[in-house]
């Protein structure tokens, strides 16, 4: 037996042979009686005494191979020796299967083997190569090459390729030019932390890896390139939360001589193109919603509009009725959960109360009012509000029998955000989000500035190159913090199913306005010049009006497929400690490298 394997193993070192003339995904009844050569991995094998069946797998599918003791005993015995994930080549004839597997595109045929060649053996894999694997996250990351063999991971990588390709087609057809910008650039303290690269030729100096090609794409507009895009890696040295990667890919775009409408319609078009060509879904035209409206109605700048459940404002209805929690609050607000009164138990309410009190949410408590189907009312504030008062509330807010009102109170901004979180959570708990619906729209008119209490200064909400809305330009001259807070930016986000898939803005293209904006953000003139002098300089040589947008490629992929995690769209992601456990990186350098670079570990 061993001899047979040894004899055929020699094929490994012969690369003049033709390894296959079909893939494991393409043979059909129309190929009946053809002589074919397939190659792939042994997915499974079944030994039924006289016959041995092997499921042979490659990227394209699975084909059943059959070996018969009567026809060729040696071959059949050799086949029985093959373990899972062995790499083999099979020559044989396409036959019709007697028991067809119609769940599989190749399930009507099988290959009767005439020749079997072992291309490589395999150790027993540490987890099963099946759609549902028994491997934990850590194990699958360490053996990522086995994980990628699994359909769910493989399909995501193929999907991502399609999204990239269709993005490039759409934009290129609109005369966008893909231009590569450098990866070895310059560190700027503003924004997130940079990854840096010591320069050997300029000792003591460092490059930085780009957090985005923002300044370069603006420079390209000044350079007259007009319509730029790039599918480009970006880097951020942040403490990693779940679903954040130190390196990630952006669809980065910029246009000159355009107004906001030009940009929104161009990239609404991109998203429609992706959904249409890849998913065969026609997205309707995108609505526009102001940031203020989004916050007011949904408590979020990226609301999930697959369900309604708007925030209800209750100050006038519920304050000054003797309930101190409400009376002392800046805001009393809540959401109405349709038809939830009867199915939501006391235990559910208690769970939810704990949930809103978690530090991440920070609510002090939760008030509920159940409007039961039989007309009775049950609430946690019966002591302060009569049934009549609560019935009156129902009329005022259009609440029906069977509905449940959930109410929070406290500081205005916080309570609105808490209501937004609660809204999302209840939609999940009540399972009212339809999986096949896509809600895509634009949030516009973001605030230009965000006040940071710790740093006692303003930060740019989008980035320091974002233009204010023309009608708010005058406010820039104010010293009043509230007036400055109210300045709106020509910034916009594309939101799909409650996720921000892309965002951008019209940029400042005027040197004086850019300088003024830097000043507002606490840059000294010297700092602005050191960090962005080249851009300010470029603005002096005929900078056109311009604006742009960037999409998170992995996020777009995940949203399109209704997936909650971006990690599997990345072939080789890093873990939460920023490590690649497969290649065991980062790692130490040898002393020679450190010396050449002129750096030491401190």
184 touches a second copy (CB under 8 A): yes
Which residues 77-96 are close enough to bind a second copy by CB under 8 A?
Answer: 85-87
Question: Nearest approach, Cβ of 213 to a second copy (angstroms)?
Answer: 10
Binding mask 275-314 for a second copy (x = CB under 8 A): ----------------------------------------
Half-sphere exposure of 383 (CA within 13 A, CB side): 6
Instruction: Closer to a second copy by CB, 145 or 284: give it.
Output: 145
Question: Nearest approach, Cβ of 175 to a second copy (angstroms)?
Answer: 8
Whether residue 63 contacts residue 106, with contact meaning beta carbons closer than 8 Å, is answered with yes
174 touches a second copy (CB under 8 A): no
Q: Provide the Cα torsion 595, 597, 601, 602; round to 10°.
A: 110
Question: Nearest approach, Cβ of 552 to a second copy (angstroms)?
Answer: 13
Instruction: Closer to a second copy by CB, 204 or 398: give it.
Output: 204
Which residues 198-257 are close enough to bind a second copy by CB under 8 A?
Answer: 198-209, 215-216, 219-220, 222-226, 233, 235, 237, 239-240, 246-247, 249, 257
Both tokens of residue 558? Answer: 């995940």
Instruction: Closer to a second copy by CB, 215 or 312: give it.
Output: 215
The bridge status of strand 287-290 relative to strand 51-58 is unpaired
Question: Nearest approach, Cβ of 72 to a second copy (angstroms)?
Answer: 24
Which residues 32-51 are close enough to bind a second copy by CB under 8 A?
Answer: 39, 41
What gap in Å lies between CA 592 and CA 186, rounded to an integer?
Answer: 25
Instruction: Closer to a second copy by CB, 12 or 321: give it.
Output: 12
Peptide bond between residue 586 and the one before it cis (omega within 30 degrees of 0)? yes
Instruction: Closer to a second copy by CB, 307 or 539: give it.
Output: 539
490 touches a second copy (CB under 8 A): yes
Which residues 442-481 are close enough to bind a second copy by CB under 8 A?
Answer: 467, 470, 473
Whether residue 282 contacts residue 264, with contact meaning beta carbons closer than 8 Å, is answered with no
Query: Collapsing DSSP states into helix, strand and coil, what is residue 357?
Result: helix
Residue 52: C-alpha distances to residues 56, 75, 335, 403 (Å): 12, 10, 62, 61
Which residues 4-23 are close enough to bind a second copy by CB under 8 A?
Answer: 12-20
What gap in Å lies between CA 522 and CA 516, rounded to an integer?
Answer: 10
What gap in Å lies between CA 504 and CA 491, rounded to an integer?
Answer: 6
Question: Nearest approach, Cβ of 245 to a second copy (angstroms)?
Answer: 9
Given 56, 58, 314, 422, the residue binding a second copy (CB under 8 A): 58
What gap in Å lies between CA 226 and CA 335, rounded to an integer?
Answer: 46
What gap in Å lies between CA 334 and CA 346, rounded to an integer?
Answer: 19
Given 121, 278, 432, 461, the residue binding a second copy (CB under 8 A): 121
Which residues 536-595 are close enough to bind a second copy by CB under 8 A?
Answer: 538-545, 547, 570-572, 574, 577-580, 582-590, 593-595
Instruction: Closer to a second copy by CB, 103 or 577: give it.
Output: 577
HEC profile of 262-314 = HHHHHHHHHHHHHHHHHHCCCCCCCEEEEHHHHHHHHCCCCCCCCCCCCCEEC
Question: Nearest approach, Cβ of 271 to a second copy (angstroms)?
Answer: 20
Question: Nearest approach, Cβ of 196 to a second copy (angstroms)?
Answer: 6
Check the CA dihedral 153-156-162-166 and report its sign. negative
Residue 382: C-alpha distances to residues 223, 343, 385, 471 (Å): 68, 20, 5, 49
Of the listed pieces 115-123, 351-359, 442-450, 452-460, which binds a second copy according to CB under 8 A? 115-123
Question: Nearest approach, Cβ of 590 to a second copy (angstroms)?
Answer: 7
């Amino acid at each position: 037996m061993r001899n047979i394997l040894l004899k055929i193993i020699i094929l490994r070192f012969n690369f003049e042979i033709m390894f296959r003339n079909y893939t494991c995904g393409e043979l059909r009844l129309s190929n009946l009686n053809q002589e074919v050569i397939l190659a792939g991995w042994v997915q499974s094998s079944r030994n039924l005494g006289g016959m041995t069946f092997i499921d042979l797998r490659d990227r394209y599918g699975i084909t059943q191979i059959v070996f018969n003791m009567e026809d060729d005993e040696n071959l059949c015995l050799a086949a029985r020796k093959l373990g899972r994930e062995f790499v083999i080549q099979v020559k044989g004839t396409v036959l019709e299967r007697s028991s067809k597997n119609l769940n599989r595109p190749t399930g009507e045929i099988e290959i009767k083997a005439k020749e079997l060649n072992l291309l490589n053996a395999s150790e027993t894999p540490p987890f099963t190569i099946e759609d549902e694997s028994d491997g934990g996250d850590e194990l699958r990351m360490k053996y990522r090459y086995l994980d990628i063999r699994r359909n769910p991971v493989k399909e995501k990588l193929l999907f991502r390729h399609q999204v990239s390709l269709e993005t490039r087609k759409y934009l290129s057809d609109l005369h966008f030019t893909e231009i590569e910008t450098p990866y070895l650039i310059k560190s700027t303290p503003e924004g997130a932390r940079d990854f840096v690269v010591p320069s050997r030729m300029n000792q003591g100096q460092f490059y930085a890896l780009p957090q985005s090609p923002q300044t370069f794409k603006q420079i390209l507009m000044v350079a007259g390139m007009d319509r730029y895009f790039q599918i480009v890696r970006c880097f951020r040295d942040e403490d990693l939360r779940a679903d954040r990667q130190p390196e990630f890919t952006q669809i980065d775009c910029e246009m000159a001589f355009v107004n906001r409408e030009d940009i929104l319609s161009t990239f609404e078009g991109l998203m429609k193109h992706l959904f249409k060509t890849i998913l065969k879904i026609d997205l309707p035209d995108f609505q526009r919603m102001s940031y203020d409206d989004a916050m007011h109605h949904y408590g979020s700048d990226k609301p999930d509009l697959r369900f309604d459940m708007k925030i209800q404002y209750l100050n006038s209805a519920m304050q000054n009725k003797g309930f101190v929690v409400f009376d002392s609050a800046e805001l009393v607000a809540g959401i109405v959960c349709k038809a939830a009164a009867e199915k939501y138990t006391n235990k559910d309410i208690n769970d939810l109360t704990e949930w809103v009190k978690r530090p991440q949410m920070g609510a002090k408590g939760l008030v509920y009012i159940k409007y039961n189907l039989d007309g009775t009312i049950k609430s946690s504030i019966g002591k302060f509000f009569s049934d009549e008062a609560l019935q009156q509330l129902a009329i005022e807010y259009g609440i029906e029998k069977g509905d449940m009102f959930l109410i929070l109170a406290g500081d205005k901004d916080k309570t609105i955000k808490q209501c937004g979180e609660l809204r999302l959570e209840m939609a999940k708990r009540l399972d009212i989000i339809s999986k096949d619906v896509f809600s895509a729209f634009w949030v516009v008119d973001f605030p230009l500035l965000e006040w940071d209490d710790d740093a006692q200064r303003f930060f740019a909400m989008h980035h320091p190159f974002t233009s204010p809305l023309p009608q708010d330009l005058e406010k820039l001259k104010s010293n009043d913090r509230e007036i400055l807070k109210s300045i709106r930016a020509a910034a916009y986000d594309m939101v799909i199913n409650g996720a921000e898939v892309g965002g951008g803005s019209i940029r400042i293209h005027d040197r004086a306005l850019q300088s003024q904006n830097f000043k507002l953000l606490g840059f000294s003139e010297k700092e602005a010049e050191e960090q962005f002098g080249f851009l300010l300089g470029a603005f002096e040589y005929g900078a056109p009006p311009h604006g742009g947008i960037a999409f998170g490629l992995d996020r777009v992929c995940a949203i399109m497929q209704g997936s909650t995690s971006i990690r599997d769209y990345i072939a080789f992601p890093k873990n939460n400690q920023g490590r690649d456990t497969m290649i065991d990186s980062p790692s130490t350098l040898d002393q020679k490298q450190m010396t050449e670079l002129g750096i030491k570990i401190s």
